[in-house]
């Protein structure tokens, strides 16, 4: 009887709280999300301040990080944008224009498809998935080994020495890789127009050139540079705040790349709406 009573009391105590993931857990998740956003904004501000104030000890690391990101991301960006340009907007867009007998307008369509949308988007996804995860895993491993704390003890600012070169490298490389992505995307559309639908190279390039405007190109480069900054802040923040050993590093990498994707999607939508509102002529196909 005593055992039964004790068991009953234990069940009451253990089962008295709200279930995991219930109403009590949701406010904690919201508060944690707000704290993380505030932490990322604080890290971004500290990074910008470190960039414009001496000492500029991050210059050598900037060159090294830039070359590392270029080496890792160049081939994936080239292949992804080439085959995506050939398949999705190339063949599918060509099928639509072919229905109306206007395959020659496929070049004009690729100004919107490649320059403005899918080339920057794929570029951002590749940078986040390849470079962003590598940065997050590297910083997370350093955090677990207490190397970040050791730098602070030695009087070395981790933001200036670690975050700044990666922040600048991602912003610069993402913008440069976007130019490569645009060229490969347009090349994929040309392959589809010429090989599948029998369009001429001159016709494709003529309609592309008649719709290609400086706001499209400059907006695309600016947008992707900010993509890189978003990926850098998110992944560096996650790497610098790892908890839980190796398992925590894996969790931080997963969260970092997902949050980077979300940040890119949201910013891309807002930027595109703003660009079309400021330059409405870019929405017309000539």
Q: Residue 1: what pLDDT?
A: 40
**pLDDT on residue 286:** 60
Distance CA(14)–CA(170), nearest Å, equals 49
What pLDDT is stored for residue 23 in this prediction? 55
Q: Does residue 240 belong to any structural domain of this protein?
A: yes
Q: Is residue 25 part of a domain?
A: no
Count of the separate structural domains present in the chain: 1
Q: Would residue 16 count as lying in a domain?
A: no
68 in any annotated domain: yes
The residue behind tokens 């940040």 is 263
Query: Which stretches in the chain have pLDDT values below 70?
Result: 1-27, 283-286
Owning domain of residue 66: 59-279
> What's residue 4's pLDDT?
41
pLDDT of residue 198: 81
Q: Is residue 12 part of a domain?
A: no
- Secondary structure of 30-42 as H, E, C letters: HHHHHHHHHHHHH
Is residue 31 a part of any domain in this protein? no
Q: Find all residues with CB under 8 Å of 60, minimum gap 6, and list them.
A: none
Q: Is 4 inside a domain boundary?
A: no
- The widest CA-to-CA distance across the chain, in whole angstroms, is 93
**Could you tell me which of 89, 84, 83, 88 has the C-alpha nearest to residue 204?**
89
pLDDT at position 25 is 52
Assess if residue 18 is contained within a domain.
no
Question: Does the N-terminal peptide bond of residue 55 adopt cis geometry, omega within 30 degrees of 0?
Answer: yes
In the prediction, which pLDDT does 285 show? Answer: 63
């Amino acid at each position: 009887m005593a055992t039964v009573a004790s068991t009953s009391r234990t069940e009451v105590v253990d089962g008295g709280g709200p279930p995991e993931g219930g109403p009590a857990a949701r406010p904690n998740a919201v508060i944690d999300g707000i704290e993380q956003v505030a932490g990322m904004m604080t890290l971004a501000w500290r990074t910008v301040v470190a960039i414009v104030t001496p000492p500029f000890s991050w210059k050598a690391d900037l060159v090294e990080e830039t070359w590392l990101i270029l080496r890792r991301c160049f081939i994936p960006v080239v292949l992804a944008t080439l085959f995506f340009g050939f398949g999705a907007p190339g063949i599918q867009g060509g099928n639509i224009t072919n229905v109306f007998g206007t395959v020659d307008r496929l070049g004009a369509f690729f100004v919107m498809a490649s320059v403005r949308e899918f080339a920057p988007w794929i570029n951002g996804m590749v940078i986040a998935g390849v470079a962003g995860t590598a940065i997050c895993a590297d910083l997370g491993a350093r955090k677990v080994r207490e190397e970040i704390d050791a730098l602070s003890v030695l009087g070395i600012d981790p933001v200036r020495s670690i975050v700044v070169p990666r922040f600048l490298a991602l912003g610069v490389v993402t913008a440069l890789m976007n130019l490569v992505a645009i060229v490969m995307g347009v090349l994929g559309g040309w392959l589809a127009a010429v090989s599948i639908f029998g369009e001429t190279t001159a016709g494709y390039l003529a309609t592309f050139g008649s719709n290609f405007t400086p706001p499209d190109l400059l907006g695309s480069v600016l947008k992707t540079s900010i993509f890189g900054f978003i990926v850098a802040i998110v992944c560096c923040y996650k790497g610098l705040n790892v908890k839980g050993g190796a398992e925590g590093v894996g969790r931080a990498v997963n969260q970092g790349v997902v949050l980077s994707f979300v940040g890119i999607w949201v910013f891309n939508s807002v930027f595109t709406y703003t660009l079309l509102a400021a330059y409405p002529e870019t929405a017309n196909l000539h």
